[in-house]
Structure 1
Amino acid sequence: MNQQPRTKILAIIPARGGSKGVPRKNIKELGGKPLLAYTAEAALASNLISKIILSTEDEEIMKVGKSCGLDVPFQRPSELAQNQSGSLGVVQNAIQFFENQGEYFDAVILLQVTSPFRLKGFIDQAIQKFIQSDVDALVSVLPVPHEYNPHWVFETDENDNLKISTGEKQIIKRRQDLPKAYFRDGSIYITKTEVIKKGSFFGKKLSYIESNPDIYVNIDTMDDWKKAEEMVLDFART
């Protein structure tokens, strides 16, 4: 029986030096180790990732990344490490670096340091679903609480009156009748390389995998950091 060729996946862990909400958060110690270490360990435990790299412009973060077992094949250009810099440019830069060396990947998985808690095997579950679903991209999500469901959310119109955000004329009355809604939790983004090259993380066909809400934190502020500190011991037991 002929085996399907393995999908080549590049994992990129982005970690720039500047951070206003939590200064130096990417290498700040959480539970006795740098925040970066949690994402590094999760990536290195994957059986389906072909290559794992750290993308940073910061020399200290480079050293910490290498101590966590990460490859740091290049220093990210400073123009891709500003407050306004988006992740898309960071990923495109990494793809171009490897293609200039004759190395090509079918897809990229972006693993953000600010979402440190991932259950064992979660990354490979996401990759397997991405491959089997034959989609452009897959993201990790969590359910939107029903009170914030877009069918129950209002926007203002040109007269400063409220209208249902979905454009419906009548509101859905019962919670049980609301369609499921999700928000990106920031833990995993997987996208075909060809889609990223065209300037999108999501493409036209987007799939999803649900994260565990019990270990959700996306660190942007000191309040988020305090939440992570409260959760880290419980996560260590999972």
Structure 2
Amino acid sequence: MKTIAIIPARGGSKRLPKKNIKLLNGIPLIAHSILYAKANSSIIDEVYVSTDDQEIKDTALKYGAKVINRPARISGDLEPTVSALRNVLEQINNEIENVILLQPTNPLRPVDLLKEAFEIYTTKNLDSLFTVSKNHSKLGKIENNKFIPSNYKIGQRSQDLEPLYYENGLLYISKTKLIFEDKILSENAFPLKMNHIFATVDIDDQNDFDYADYLFSKKQNTF
């Protein structure tokens, strides 16, 4: 039974045109996730890119991934990621046990993250795992021009806040059976807590891209 990595990458990004093939630190954005997967070949048997875009296909092939053509019916802005994952599994029709989702918009990952995550996943016999990070913000909503705190009381110190976590998007591991149920994570999915600056990178626009580029420039000597 195999473990594969799937990298879903649609064309047609609106906020940052051709985002997935835009050069970050000298190589296309999507290539960072491909290379990360290939560097973990002791865990990952095959790397697949699901896309509807020819330039992304060409780039993925150049960096050693296999390409699955994503149909137009599941390539819209509002289509959930699990649709692309399921389509890959249906097209390759192999004995796949585990799927590792690597989002190209999260190009920076700690070197040992997948190794640590997969060991927990297998040791605990989990059906799904995802990475989370602690949120240190004082959050609230605005109603009728009034700010209403959600996770704290006005005047409360930040260090006294109840710990809250957010899904940082760096890594997901799921059993194939879940994906065929149109799920990536189950209700019992294991939240792997991580405290790393890379978890703050999720590229959606040019500012996010510039931030990632800055972190790359510091990566060799700092992280």
1:129 pairs, out of 120, 138, 142, with: 120
Tell me the distance in 1 between the aligned counterparts of 2:52 and 2:141.
41
Match in the other structure for 2:27: 33
Number of corresponding residues: 220
Tell me the distance in 2 between the aligned counterparts of 1:162 and 1:10.
46
Alignment of 1:169-208 (within 5 A): 178-208=161-191
Contact 2:132 2:192 in 1 (8 A): yes
Aligned-residue sequence identity (percent) comes to 30
Tell me the distance in 2 between the aligned counterparts of 1:161 and 1:22.
33
Match in the other structure for 1:107: 98
Matched, 1:80 2:74: yes
1:66 pairs, out of 57, 61, 64, with: 61
Instruction: Name whichever structure is richer in strand by fraction.
Output: 2
- Name the amino acid aligned to 2:190: S
Where does structure 1 lack aligned partners over 5 or more consecutive residues?
A: 1-6
1:225 pairs, out of 193, 209, 216, with: 209
- Residues 229 and 176 (structure 1 numbering): CA distance in 2 closer, same or farther, change over 3 Å? closer
Kindly report the root-mean-square deviation, in angstroms, between the aligned alpha carbons of the 2 structures: 2.6
Contact 2:127 2:189 in 1 (8 A): yes
SS of residue paired to 2:66: coil
SS of residue paired to 1:106: strand
Match in the other structure for 1:14: 8
Match in the other structure for 1:4: none
Contact 2:9 2:50 in 1 (8 A): yes
- Flag the structure with larger Rg: 1
Tell me the distance in 1 between the aligned counterparts of 2:133 and 2:177.
27
Alignment of 1:207-222 (within 5 A): 207-215=190-198, 216-222=200-206
Tell me the distance in 2 between the aligned counterparts of 1:236 and 1:26.
23
Q: How far has the Cα of 1:146 moved from its partner? A: 4.7
Structure 2 length normalisation: TM-score?
A: 0.87
Q: How far has the Cα of 1:206 moved from its partner? A: 1.2
Contact 1:18 1:83 in 2 (8 A): no
Contact 2:138 2:149 in 1 (8 A): no
Tell me the distance in 2 between the aligned counterparts of 1:161 and 1:147.
15
Structure 1 length normalisation: TM-score?
A: 0.82
Contact 2:16 2:206 in 1 (8 A): yes
For residues 19-46 of structure 1, give each alpha carbon's deviation from its aligned partner in whole angstroms, at most 9, with x where no partner exists.
0111001000111111111111111011
Contact 2:136 2:158 in 1 (8 A): no
- Residues 160 and 185 (structure 1 numbering): CA distance in 2 closer, same or farther, change over 3 Å? same
SS of residue paired to 1:208: strand
Where does structure 2 lack aligned partners over 5 or more consecutive residues?
A: none
Q: Which moved more, 1:132-141 or 1:38-47?
A: 132-141
Q: How far has the Cα of 1:98 moved from its partner? A: 2.3
